Amino acid sequence: MNFRKGSRDEPEINLIPFIDVLLVVLIFVMMSSTLSPLAALQIQLPQASADPLRVSAREVTLSISKDGHYSINKVPVPDRRVDTLSAAMTQASVGQPDTVVIIHADAQATHQSVLTVMEAARRSGLAQISFATQTGAK
């Protein structure tokens, strides 16, 4: 007893937008996967020969404590002013301009303390500055 007349319409699935989206995703994956091996490039770095290390005639060791106190060649400097440091560095270097200033700064020392030492070295005519470090425990 089928009282309905007519045909049943089957739902239609349109695959064209689905294929378009998959194509865009495929292109994106292909482009991003070609950029990832950049870190694995095999390159040869240029080689250069360095000058042998020069043995300096004099070294001035300047230590900076974490609270900003200075000492030159293990002799405490009474003042924190640039002029006082400059005079002490000139005296320690005995007026030799090739003297190397080695700065031993505490890790907690302020940036200003190190800059004060560098300014004092500049005023003393000492252009060669080196920073001492230590290796950390592994």
Contact indicator for 76, 88 with CB cutoff of 8 Å: no
| pLDDT tens sequence across 15-38 | 899 999 999 999 988 877 765 544
Mean pLDDT of 88-96: 84
Q: Is 89 exposed, middle or buried (0-12, 13-18, 19+ CB in 10 A)?
A: buried
Half-sphere exposure of 122 (CA within 13 A, CB side): 7
Report the SS3 class of residue 108.
coil
pLDDT of the residue at 30: 83
Between 70 and 34, name the one with better pLDDT: 70
pLDDT at 45 over 50: no
Residue 113 identity: S
Task: Kindly list the structural domains of the chain, giving each domain's residue range(s) and its CATH number in brackets, ordered by start.
Answer: 59-131 (3.30.420.270)
pLDDT of the residue at 57: 56
The distance from CA 17 to its chain's CA centroid, rounded to whole angstroms, is 50
Round to whole Å and give the CA distance between 82 and 40: 50
Residue 8 identity: R
pLDDT at 43 over 50: no
Instruction: Give the helix ranges, DSSP H, for 2-81.
Output: 16-35
Laid out side by side, the sheet with 59-64 consists of 75-76, 70-72, 59-64, 100-105, 128-131
Round to whole Å and give the CA distance between 17 and 22: 9
Closest CA to 87 of 122, 59, 120: 120
> Is the pTM higher than 0.85?
no
